[in-house]
Chains A and B, each alone.
Chain A
Amino acid sequence: MSTKNPTDWTIAEARKSLEAGETSALDLARAFLDRAASVEPAVHALLERTTDRALSDARAADARRAKGERGPLLGIPVVLKDIFATRGIPTTCGSRILEGFVPPYDADAVERLSRAGAVLVGKSNLDEFAMGSSTENSAFGPTANPWDTGRVAGGSSGGSAAAVAAGECLASLGTDTGGSIRLPASYCGVCGMKPTYGRVSRYGVIAYASSLDQVGPFARTVADLADVLGVIAGHDPRDSTSVPAPVPDYAAALDGRVAGLRIGVPREYFVPGMAPEVEAAVREAIERLRSLGATIVEVGLPHTKYAVATYYLVAPAEASSNLARYDGVRFGLRKAAADANLLDMYRETRDAGFGAEVKRRILLGTYALSAGYYDAFYLKAQKARTLIRDDFAKAFAECDVLATPVAPTVAFGLGEKTEDPLAMYLSDVLTISVNLAGLPALALPCGFDGAGLPIGLQLIAPAFREEAALRVGDAFQRATDWHERRPPAPGAAKGGAR
């Protein structure tokens, strides 16, 4: 069918070819593994290429197809952020402290992908314990942006975003605690979605901040995202915060119609310091939606300015507790001199195992929860969180979906913000509120700046109304071609022949 290289396809295109018998899952797996081999030296999206697993998954998928089975992800090559526990496959979370850890269990989302017949080609790079906005906090080196390898991929799910952008897989999974799917999607020019908190099980997903963490997909198109979300969403009795609500047919909701929809534009989201090209591209995208028949309304989210402060108390507090289990006793790294006592063992292990940002957040969170500071910091932040939630409730009384930029700028340079944690935190200023409110939000490309770097549009929907954001995003993609652009082959450009 397509003259395009399979690694440039969408899931929909690949599925068509598989169903037509023009290609096999095994062919696809090999093509994507080859592609990964060629681009990885320049991109470093993956921490591990699961070649054997990919080939056996692909053969199994072909066998299932031969028996007449069909499915949206049957035989589709995927990548998992290395925060998902994978039975029998090392799982690092980007940290030295999980050195040697091989989980005896799969995350729920991983089980669901396996049942759907997806083919696992690798596990992707991330900021250590998902703490970061650039994937530079990985203990195993940063991931480069496939559009410009001198720039960051965004984070923390930078590897998953870059893997899709660089054609190493057709879809990937990430997690989003404060923007960790949407920011890298935006920086890498792909689509990413953070579903409603409770929509996708967190079972087997290594926790950063449990009340904010949510699993979500990356893909090249919104329609592809809908396919992946349909597979991973749903109630899981192993996660007490998983919500037993029916999962709609997301693909069926993509009817291309936005006429009559009210799209809210929060005035607080066009912040001072925003790159003019970003603002222009996002405003133009909103105009495009208007031209497609949507009604545009300006709304207010007045507590937005407190979101970053709130987040950087709530998330580190939870993290300080979630990361206490890395103590060198049951799994992972242990660092201790022969004569070390117990306290030495804890302190040396955690000093050697955690990177600077993780330590920073553990200390910050410990501080926020400690005696004498709890009320002023943690409790205050929880109350601010209520006000931020209420803002959205009020805004959604006036509109169906919110449209905003994902980030104030395009991807920044590697190393540019590593010395200034606070500046790094402010990259998430437009994504964090959504996590605090537990809402679903979609990021999709809506333009490029003068240097050819992608710009992202964020579409935020009410809780458990993922399909509303997906419908708008899909309609936008039917009318535009930003999502069809592909980055220059990073490996080929640098190294020549593979």
Chain B
Amino acid sequence: MPVSLEDVRHIALLARLGLAPAEEERLRRDLDSILGYVAQLESLDVSGVEPTAHVVDLPTPLREDRATNPERPEEMVENAPDRDRTFLRVPKIIE
């Protein structure tokens, strides 16, 4: 199934990527070619095969419930492009 410009626009919106029209077309071509290549997986028989999400076959480790982190709001928001006191500031959110 070829990738359409509509597909590109839809996933670009999901991924919050603004794309110029020329870029949309170029990415459509690229995706089409890459997905064409990965389509070779279609010929692979995976019936009865369990998926691998992790190569480490251990249960997740647990940490003790202790609030050990220091309070340092200034340091945590220091990198923010826009802030108000120790709040982060963003364009108005409309529900």
A residues whose Cβ falls under 8 Å from a Cβ of B:
100-102, 104, 197-198, 211, 237, 240-241, 243-244, 303, 305-306, 308-310, 312-313, 320, 324, 327-334, 336, 340-348, 350-351, 354, 356, 359-360, 362-364, 366-367, 370, 377, 379-387, 389, 421-422, 425, 436-438, 463
Q: Is the CB of A104 within 8 A of B75?
A: yes
Q: Is the CB of A345 within 8 A of B44?
A: no
- Which listed residue, A308, A329, A343, A386, touches B52 by the CB 8 Å rule? A386
Give the residue name and chain of the B residue nearest to A354 (CB): B17
User: Closest CB-CB distance, A254 to chain B, in whole Å?
Assistant: 26
- Which listed residue, B18, B61, B91, touches A237 by the CB 8 Å rule? B61
Q: Is the CB of B50 within 8 A of A383?
A: yes
Give the residue name and chain of the B residue nearest to A305 (CB): B40
Give Cα A161 to B10, complex, Å: 39
Give Cα A386 to B20, complex, Å: 39
Give Cα A336 to B16, complex, Å: 13
Q: Is the CB of A309 within 8 A of B17?
A: no
Give the residue name and chain of the A residue nearest to B63 (CB): A237
Asked, given contacts A243-B56, A382-B51, whether A330 binds B27 with beta carbons under 8 Å apart, the answer is: no
Which residues on A sit within 8 Å (CB–CB) of B80?
329-331
Provide the B65-82 mask, 1 if CB < 8 A to any CB of A, else 0.
000000010011111111
Q: Main SS of the interface on chain A?
A: helix
User: Closest CB-CB distance, A10 to chain B, in whole Å?
Assistant: 32
User: Closest CB-CB distance, B51 to chain A, in whole Å?
Assistant: 3
Which residues on B sit within 8 Å (CB–CB) of A381?
38, 41
- Which listed residue, B7, B18, B58, touches A367 by the CB 8 Å rule? B7
Provide the B1-22 mask, 1 if CB < 8 A to any CB of A, else 0.
0010001100110111111100
- Which listed residue, B34, B51, B76, touches A312 by the CB 8 Å rule? B34
- Which listed residue, B15, B33, B75, touches A363 by the CB 8 Å rule? B15
Give Cα A344 to B13, complex, Å: 11
Asked, given contacts A104-B78, A197-B56, whether A384 binds B14 with beta carbons under 8 Å apart, the answer is: no
Give Cα A342 to B89, complex, Å: 11
Give Cα A438 to B72, complex, Å: 37
Supply 11 A–B pairs (Cβ within 8 Å), ascending by A. Answer: A104-B76, A241-B56, A303-B44, A306-B40, A341-B94, A342-B93, A351-B17, A356-B23, A366-B11, A382-B51, A383-B49
Which residues on B sit within 8 Å (CB–CB) of A330?
77, 79-80, 88
Asked, given contacts A237-B63, A336-B91, whether A384 binds B44 with beta carbons under 8 Å apart, the answer is: yes
Which residues on B sit within 8 Å (CB–CB) of A348?
18
4 shortest interchain CB distances as A-B pairs = A438-B55, A347-B18, A382-B51, A331-B79
User: Closest CB-CB distance, A308 to chain B, in whole Å?
Assistant: 8
Give Cα A312 to B91, complex, Å: 35
Q: Is the CB of B54 within 8 A of A334?
A: no
Give Cα A389 to B57, complex, Å: 13
Q: Is the CB of A438 within 8 A of B49?
A: no
Q: Is the CB of B27 within 8 A of A309?
A: no
Q: Is the CB of A379 within 8 A of B51?
A: yes
Asked, given contacts A359-B17, A386-B49, A421-B30, whether A306 binds B56 with beta carbons under 8 Å apart, the answer is: no
Q: Is the CB of A389 within 8 A of B55?
A: yes
Asked, given contacts A354-B17, A383-B50, whether A240 binds B81 with beta carbons under 8 Å apart, the answer is: no
Which residues on B sit within 8 Å (CB–CB) of A104?
72, 75-76, 78-79
Which residues on A sit within 8 Å (CB–CB) of B81?
328-329, 331-334
Task: List 13 other contacts, CB 8 Å, given A102-B79, A211-B53.
Answer: A243-B56, A306-B40, A327-B16, A329-B80, A332-B79, A342-B92, A360-B34, A364-B31, A366-B15, A383-B46, A383-B52, A385-B51, A389-B52
